[in-house]
A and B are shown apart, each in its own frame.
Chain A
Amino acid sequence: AQTVTQSQPEMSVQEAETVTLSCTYDTSESDYYLFWYKQPPSRQMILVIRQEAYKQQNATENRFSVNFQKAAKSFSLKISDSQLGDAAMYFCAYRSPANAGGTSYGKLTFGQGTILTVHP
């Protein structure tokens, strides 16, 4: 079974600065998807960024980028030019590929979450 670990329960950053959230995972699969979700106080789950394991290029979405190290099974999220609206709980998640079959198909496996505080 796959596992996802976020070792930083809480992180803080000054507005306009850069912060990196860590995530490691364990899997025996060679193809999979990794995600970062943002959960603001409204509790809504918002997809921030997605990475396909077969792509070597790191995904980017505006101020959000990832550092995907497949051999190390590491998937960190970098937030540049942090804004007050970035304050939230962030979850790292893993999903098996579409052809995985069995009970892993479609299931998201989440890390424990990291609470990000942004100071003005």
Chain B
Amino acid sequence: EAQVTQNPRYLITVTGKKLTVTCSQNMNHEYMSWYRQDPGLGLRQIYYSMNVEVTDKGDVPEGYKVSRKEKRNFPLILESPSPNQTSLYFCASRSLSANTEAFFGQGTRLTVV
């Protein structure tokens, strides 16, 4: 089954404690991205990757890092989380060659206290 898998689904952490949210896709998609969803703001892009070792900032990259060492994985790293990073996070992937739309992960609800 084609899917994007995020882990964990829920996470509560404390300010300053480094964390990683994993994202994996099994569709051999070139393009992967991270979004955060906040009330009244919709989803906003954090980072994206066009292919292995190619990443770039989206609209709200401050406080986040990503890496793309393998095509299937695109982890989101919060080196020193702060309460303003409490949000719902989505990973998405898409083929750049096929005329298909993005597949979304199930979402990760992150709370930073």
Measured CB to CB, the residues of A under 8 A from B are 4, 6, 9, 35, 42-45, 47, 50, 91, 93, 98, 103, 105-113
Contact = CB atoms under 8 A, between A and B. Distances in A.
Nearest to A110: B42
A111 B40 CA distance: 9
B48 A43 contact: no
Interface string B52-83: 00001110000000000000000000000000
Contacts of A98: 96, 99
B107 A43 contact: yes
B90 A45 contact: yes
A100 to B, nearest CB: 12
A44 B107 CA distance: 7
B42 A111 contact: yes
A119 B41 CA distance: 26
B101 A47 contact: yes
Interface residues of B, number: 26
Interface in B34-52: 35, 40-45, 48, 50
A103 B55 CA distance: 11
B43 A108 contact: yes
B107 A103 contact: no
A107 B58 contact: yes
A35 B40 CA distance: 18
Nearest to B49: A106
Given A45-B90, A113-B40, 20 more contacts: A6-B42, A43-B106, A43-B107, A43-B109, A44-B104, A44-B107, A45-B104, A47-B101, A50-B101, A91-B42, A98-B96, A98-B99, A106-B33, A106-B94, A107-B33, A108-B92, A109-B45, A110-B43, A110-B44, A111-B42
